[in-house]
Amino acid sequence: MRKKVVTVGSSAGITISPAELRALGLSVGDPVEVSVRGGVLEVSKVSPFAGLSLDELLALVDERTGR
């Protein structure tokens, strides 16, 4: 599908339809990793747990399981 690069403030962007977001497992506001490899733009969903320490992860488990 062809898209057009548009101006977003002082930056540029490409719109993603709701169907495309669903197919990628993304929602508005989700963090993503963007990279360019061989002239191809890659967008990957970032885990909400990326960068958390083991202690922080264990605290989340305790919180969600009521421990």
Residue 54: predicted pLDDT? 95
Residue 28: predicted pLDDT? 93
Contact criterion met (CB below 8 Å) for 60 and 47: no
Residue 6: predicted pLDDT? 96
**Confidence label for 61 from pLDDT (cuts 50, 70 and 90):** very high
| CATH, residue 37 | 2.10.260.10
Q: Is residue 67 over pLDDT 80?
A: no
Compute how many other C-beta atoms are within 10 angstroms of the C-beta atom of residue 52: 13
Q: Is residue 66 over pLDDT 90?
A: no
For residue 40, the enclosing domain spans 6-65
Domain annotation covers residue 20:
yes
Residue 48: predicted pLDDT? 83
* Nearest in space to 14 (alpha carbons), one of 23, 28, 24, 3: 3
Number of domains in the chain: 1
